């Protein structure tokens, strides 16, 4: 099964005279996997509803291949899994058969198709279990199986991983990857996590205040956000304002509160121009003050530890280096360097890890 193309032209959605969504143009190619990210209330769920043909835009149109998304024959080619898709009363098998029954599939065939799908997704052992007895992760995987039961050409998922534990998340990500790769169906995924976007999507769109602020190849957008607000949202907690002090053969030198940072750039920024430098805490390496080894990094900055905070499998270290700086290190590094407030360190950052955004 090949995926189907999804297209939006001139779409605006207004509610109570408030603009909720404005998308001048969006084309999702057949078989493409697009991740949509953005803060709460940005319009992501509305975008999915418009793509699925469940919401009529105030102006403009959404198309599924050659048919309007709001027309039933087109809508049947798409399956939307909302954030909190409730399961029906009854067992798992019945839940997965339900959309097939609504489309008039004969009972023997829908039973066979549902059983095969549950088997493929490793859920066959739950077929007779009542929906009310499922865990959160199991419920979400069954809801996904139900969304896949009609063999849609496009699958739209609205934050399917919210509120479930990491093992269940891994299983659900694996289910989605296997389904998309095996069928080449089109995928549009709303998610808040960078790792999920990288694993499941080839293209990323940042939705901000009802508009697409940035879109492009997933790795490119994550590495090169278009502005400081997007950078912070994507986890680049280091957002520094500076001025271009020098141009080099492979980039620029930016003065940030008296500290010179070397930035690798394909196109040097104009001299004396104000810029933002953004980069992830993961790209800041910490070394002991007496460690004079240099290696390839061109930015080695004396700094002092301000605070230490455990966070999601890492340790976040806030530093003062003439400006505030955040590093993400392992617990082993904290012990090895005896990190504590007031301890001096060297912060090491590769020039290629820094991204410049015009101020």
Q: What is the tens place of the pLDDT at every residue in 273-284? A: 999 999 999 999
pLDDT score, position 181? 84
Closest CA to 235 of 252, 217, 221: 221
DSSP 87: P
Q: pLDDT band at residue 1, thresholds of 50, 70 and 90?
A: low
Percent of the chain having pLDDT more than 90?
Answer: 69
In the chain, domain spans: 6-223, 228-358
Mean pLDDT for 316-343 is: 95
Residue 259 has pLDDT above 70, yes or no: yes
What's the mean per-residue pLDDT of the chain? 91
Fold of 228-358: OB fold (Dihydrolipoamide Acetyltransferase, E2P) (2.40.50)
Question: Does residue 166 or residue 294 have the better pLDDT?
Answer: 166
> Distance (Å, rounded) from C-alpha 132 to C-alpha 135?
8
Mean pLDDT for 69-91 is: 85
Q: Which CATH superfamily is domain 6-223 in?
A: P-loop containing nucleotide triphosphate hydrolases (3.40.50.300)
> Distance (Å, rounded) from C-alpha 63 to C-alpha 70?
8
Mean pLDDT for 289-295 is: 79
- Per the CB < 8 A criterion, the answer to whether 55 and 46 are in contact is yes
Percent of the chain having pLDDT more than 70?
Answer: 99
Tell me the longest C-alpha to C-alpha distance in the chain: 75
Residue 323 has pLDDT above 90, yes or no: yes
């Amino acid at each position: 099964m090949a995926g189907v193309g999804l297209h939006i032209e001139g779409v605006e959605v207004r509610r109570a005279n408030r603009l909720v969504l404005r998308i001048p143009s969006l084309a999702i190619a057949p078989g493409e996997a697009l991740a949509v990210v953005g803060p709460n209330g940005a319009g992501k769920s509305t975008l999915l509803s418009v793509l699925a043909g469940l919401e009529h835009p105030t102006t403009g149109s959404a198309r599924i291949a050659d048919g309007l998304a709001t027309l039933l024959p087109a809508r049947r080619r798409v399956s939307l899994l909302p954030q909190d898709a409730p399961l029906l009363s009854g067992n798992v098998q019945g839940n997965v058969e339900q959309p097939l029954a609504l489309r008039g599939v004969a009972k023997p065939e829908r039973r066979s198709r549902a059983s095969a799908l549950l088997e493929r997704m490793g859920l066959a052992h739950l077929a007779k279990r009542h929906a009310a007895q499922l865990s959160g992760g199991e419920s979400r995987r069954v809801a996904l199986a139900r969304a896949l039961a009609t063999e849609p050409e496009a699958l739209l998922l609205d934050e399917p991983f919210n509120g479930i534990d990491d093992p269940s998340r891994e299983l659900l990500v694996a289910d989605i990857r296997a389904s998309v790769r095996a069928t080449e169906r089109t995928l549009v995924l709303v998610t808040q996590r960078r790792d999920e976007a990288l694993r499941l999507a080839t293209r990323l769109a940042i939705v901000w205040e009802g508009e697409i602020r940035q879109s492009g190849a997933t790795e490119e957008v994550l590495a090169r956000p278009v502005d400081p607000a997007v950078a912070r949202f994507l986890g680049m907690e280091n957002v520094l304002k500076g001025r271009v002090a020098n141009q080099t053969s492979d980039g620029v030198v930016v003065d940030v509160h008296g500290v010179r940072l070397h930035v690798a750039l394909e196109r040097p920024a104009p001299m004396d121009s104000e810029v933002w430098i953004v980069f992830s805490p993961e790209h800041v390496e910490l070394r002991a003050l007496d460690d004079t080894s240099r290696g390839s990094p061109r930015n080695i900055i004396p700094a002092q530890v301000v605070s230490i905070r455990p966070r999601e499998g890492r340790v976040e270290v806030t530093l003062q280096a003439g400006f505030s700086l955040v590093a993400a290190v392992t617990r082993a590094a904290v012990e090895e360097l005896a990190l504590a407030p007031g301890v001096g360190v060297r912060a090491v950052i590769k020039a290629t890890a820094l991204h410049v955004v015009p101020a």
